[in-house]
Amino acid sequence: MDIHEHQAKDILKGFGVPVPKGFVAYSPEQAAYCARALGGAGPWVVKAQVHSGGRGEAGGVKLCKTDAEVMDYAASLLGTRLVTKQTDAQGKGVYRLYVEEASDIAQELYLGFVLDRKSERIMIVASGHGGMEIEDLAHEDPDSLVRSVIDPAVGLREYQARDLGFRLGLTGPQVTQFVTFLQACYRAYRDLDAMMVEINPLVITGKGDLVALDAKMSFDTNALYRRPQVAALRDPGQEDPREAMAADNGLAYVGLDGDIGCIINGAGLAMASMDMIQLAGGQPANFLDIGGGASPERVCQAFRTVLSDRNVSVILVNIFAGINRCDWIAKGVIRAYTDVGIEIPVVVRLSGTNVEEGRKIIRESGLPIISADTLAEAADRAVAAASQKIAAE
């Protein structure tokens, strides 16, 4: 789960990370008031709060010298959709802004904490060139990246932080600040089950102080049940509506660009099914793992979620029942025809526990359900049904 910049800064500030003073605004008038509340005569930085990087290049960040300029810029940005190089063509809706005091920047650094699955450790990635996306840094100046792996048994040690500071070219009091800065970020990462903490840029001010000028955090969705203070920061308005709907109903869903909707149990089987659809010449519209022990009610909700995508022309149900039962799935499919109102072809492939009973329920339902015995057969029939529907239209 991603959160907004201002939320990440609030969290990091609570752990001792220095951040510029700022306020959130939801209207042009409030943005101007926030600028005045920060004191002084400006300038101020106004930032669109969207779950995406590259906001500056897309026009989502501006340095404003007067509160009138803050209001005008806020009015031009709020309610629009910001398209960056990290979003699709639809962009992200801008419904809140962050107004903060401008900083005196002498140098920009990059700092990130990420989970390295290969080493099963938290890895710190840093660079003496901040303000750039990490992908661009890795491509344009890979030698500038320095890394340090944290052993979870002992945590981040001071000598590691000092070594990293020296490798970035810091000296004297800056190294001491850097050690404190890194340890605060690490505590936030560890204590809140984060998946990423990124400070970009981490700036050195004209006075030599280290400040987190921008911050990004993402969290392990599977751990949100024990982090209610983090779960409360979720902004469904920044999510794919289909994925938000699925999350609200406990379904693992990722929206894609195809037209064959998938309802499958098990992440591995879902991936294999998507590959088979593409091998048959089609394009999957989504990844959906219905999970184990799926009741007929849960199957109905899965159908509602898949059908919320208007591009879906065929639904493929592929179940290998272990914890699940094929008869439950079959009853769910039939119930979906009544409760959801399915008007597109549905291909069902069942295997595993109570498979014969499940197939019998499908067969005797009298509904136009297309049955298949194997995954390859199911994929071929789904692609054929999609092609026929397109031809008919």
**Residue list for the binding site for substrate:** 265
10 Å CB burial of residue 18 (0-12, 13-18, 19+) is middle
- Report residue 92: phi and psi, to 5°: -120, 140
Q: Which residues belong to the annotated binding site?
A: 47, 54-56, 100, 103, 108, 200, 214, 265
Q: Which residues belong to the annotated binding site for ATP?
A: 47, 54-56, 100, 103, 108
Based on the residue annotation, tell me whether 158 is a catalytic residue of this protein: no
Residue by residue, DSSP assigns 266-329 as SHHHHHHHHHHHHHTT--B-EEEE--SS--HHHHHHHHHHHHTSTT--EEEEEEEESSS-HHHH
Residue 196: C-alpha distances to residues 37, 98, 217 (Å): 32, 21, 5
- Per DSSP, the three-state class of 196 is strand
Determine the residue type at 352: G
Determine the residue type at 142: P
Based on the residue annotation, tell me whether 198 is a catalytic residue of this protein: yes
Based on DSSP, count helices (H) and strands (E) in the chain, helices before strands: 13, 18
Q: Which residues belong to the annotated binding site for Mg(2+)?
A: 200, 214
Give the residue carrying structure tokens 């890394």: 147
Among the options 5, 69, 198, 239, which is catalytic? 198
Question: Quick one: how far is CA 228 from the chain centroid?
Answer: 18
State the DSSP H helix or E strand holding residue 86, giving kind and residue range, or none if neither. none
Peptide bond preceding 20: is omega within 30 degrees of 0, i.e. cis? no
Total residue count of the chain as it appears in this document: 393
Structure tokens at 126: 């840093």
Among the options 73, 98, 110, 189, which is catalytic? 110
Which residues are within 8 A (CB) of 118 and not within 5 positions of it... i.e. 6 or more apart?
A: none
C-beta of residue 306 within 8 angstroms of C-beta of residue 288: yes
Residue by residue, DSSP assigns 22-57 as EEEESSHHHHHHHHHHT-TT--EEEEE--S-S-TTT
Q: Which residues participate in catalysis according to the annotation?
A: 110, 198
